[in-house]
């Protein structure tokens, strides 16, 4: 089964939708770390949501969803680029106790200090342009509700999500009410009624059904009375963007005194990528080279700027 994202629109209602199923990518993410089942569920649901939200945007670049927790789960991160290449990881507190069946609030928002961060990093940034970042309190008892609340607040768009994940698959459904420019009072009322009707149909969906049913069957089963136009499917995949160069840049950011102290302690630096498990090693010679090239680059830049 290929990982698939299916976009569709309703011919008779100002509503668009997407269904996604992520299995192979999800297995690759889980192969790197062994997550307790409740954490795995949250990460899988966030994974499906990231693909749905990214495909819903007309945007080239990277979307990063982060949930920063104040409980047993410190961080859930999903990165998804506009080609639906995904990577994901979760960090637990050192002494984390994960109760069976625990949900978002218990794991990530135990003391009400959880934060939800959405970052959009365009591929074609102008010089000096920063990525767009929205930070809101974690608001809602599930991943789907937290995202719905975020979307309503930031985009003023009615968006509904249904998400489910187990060890085999992460599936999700997104419905969004299309905005209408102007329109008569009757049209606006009709739009709202059509939207509510669509949401009622989708709300019959249960997690067990989502986990056990492929998305084409789900689409037919939920909306068999509606006229639906489907688009060419897209295919999410796993991709980690880590590289030796990026790890090197991170070490340079830490600064020479810190790196020298660590080298004195350890002899060499070992870094594992949190997302893919790739192992990187930097010994004294590697680190000396890093800072030498960094100095050379600075010197070049200064020489460049002094010419003006």
Min dist. Cβ of residue 273 to Zn ion (A): 3
Nearer to Zn ion, 220 or 244 (CB): 244
Q: How many residues bind Zn ion (CB under 5 A)?
A: 6
Min dist. Cβ of residue 284 to Zn ion (A): 24
Helix axes 244-254, 256-266, angle to 10 degrees: 110
Nearer to Zn ion, 125 or 244 (CB): 244
Note whether 242 binds Zn ion by CB under 5 A: yes
Note whether 273 binds Zn ion by CB under 5 A: yes
Min dist. Cβ of residue 240 to Zn ion (A): 3
Nearer to Zn ion, 62 or 222 (CB): 62
CA 295/CA 289 separation, integer angstroms:
10
Contact present, 107 and 98 (Cβ < 8 Å): yes
Nearer to Zn ion, 143 or 273 (CB): 273
- CB atoms under 10 Å from CB of 282, counted, come to 21
Q: Which of residues 182-241 bind Zn ion (CB under 5 A)?
A: 240
Min dist. Cβ of residue 239 to Zn ion (A): 9
Stretch binding Zn ion (CB under 5 A), from 120-128, 136-144, 194-202, 269-277: 269-277
Min dist. Cβ of residue 65 to Zn ion (A): 18
Note whether 287 binds Zn ion by CB under 5 A: no
What is the residue whose two structure tokens read 């009709």? 190
CA 168/CA 211 separation, integer angstroms:
8
Structure tokens at 267: 């002899």
Stretch binding Zn ion (CB under 5 A), from 51-59, 75-83, 210-218, 275-283: 275-283
Note whether 276 binds Zn ion by CB under 5 A: yes
Min dist. Cβ of residue 277 to Zn ion (A): 7
Q: Which of 278, 288, 291, 294 binds Zn ion (CB under 5 A)?
A: 278
Nearest one of 92, 94, 95, 119 to 107, comparing CA atoms: 92
CA 91/CA 149 separation, integer angstroms:
24
Note whether 275 binds Zn ion by CB under 5 A: yes
Structure tokens at 44: 């899988």
Contact present, 111 and 128 (Cβ < 8 Å): no
Establish how many alpha carbons lie within 13 A of residue 113's alpha carbon, considering only the half-sphere containing its beta carbon: 8
Q: Give Cβ neighbours of residue 40 (< 8 Å, ≥ 6 apart).
A: 30, 165, 166, 167
Interaction site with Zn ion (CB under 5 A) = 240, 242, 273, 275-276, 278
């Amino acid at each position: 089964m290929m990982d698939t994202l299916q976009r569709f629109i309703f011919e008779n209602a100002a509503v668009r939708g997407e269904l996604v199923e992520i299995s192979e990518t999800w297995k690759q993410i889980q192969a790197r770390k062994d997550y307790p089942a409740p954490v795995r569920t949250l990460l899988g649901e966030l994974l499906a949501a990231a693909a749905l939200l990214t495909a819903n945007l007309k945007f080239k670049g990277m979307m990063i969803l982060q949930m920063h927790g104040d409980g047993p789960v410190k961080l859930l991160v999903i990165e998804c680029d506009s080609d639906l290449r995904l990577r994901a990881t979760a960090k637990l507190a050192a002494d984390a106790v994960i109760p069976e069946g625990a949900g978002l609030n218990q794991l990530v928002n135990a003391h009400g200090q959880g934060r939800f961060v959405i970052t959009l990093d365009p591929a074609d940034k102008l010089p000096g342009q920063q990525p767009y970042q929205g930070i809101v309190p974690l608001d809602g008892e599930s991943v789907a509700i937290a995202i719905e609340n975020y979307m309503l607040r930031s985009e003023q768009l009615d968006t509904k999500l249904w998400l489910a994940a187990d060890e085999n698959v992460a599936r999700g459904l997104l419905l969004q009410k299309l905005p209408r420019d102007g329109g008569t009072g009757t049209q606006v009322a009709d739009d709202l009624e059509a939207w509510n009707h669509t949401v009622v149909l989708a709300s019959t969906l249960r997690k067990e059904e989502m986990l056990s049913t492929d998305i084409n069957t789900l689409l037919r089963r939920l909306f068999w009375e509606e006229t639906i136009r489907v688009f060419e499917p897209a295919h999410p995949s796993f991709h980690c963007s880590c590289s030796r160069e990026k790890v090197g840049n991170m070490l340079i950011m830490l600064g020479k005194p810190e790196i020298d102290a660590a080298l004195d302690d350890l002899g060499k630096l070992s870094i594992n990528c949190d997302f893919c498990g790739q192992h990187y090693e930097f010994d004294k010679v590697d680190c000396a080279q890093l800072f030498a090239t960094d100095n050379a680059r600075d010197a070049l830049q200064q020489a460049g700027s002094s010419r003006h």
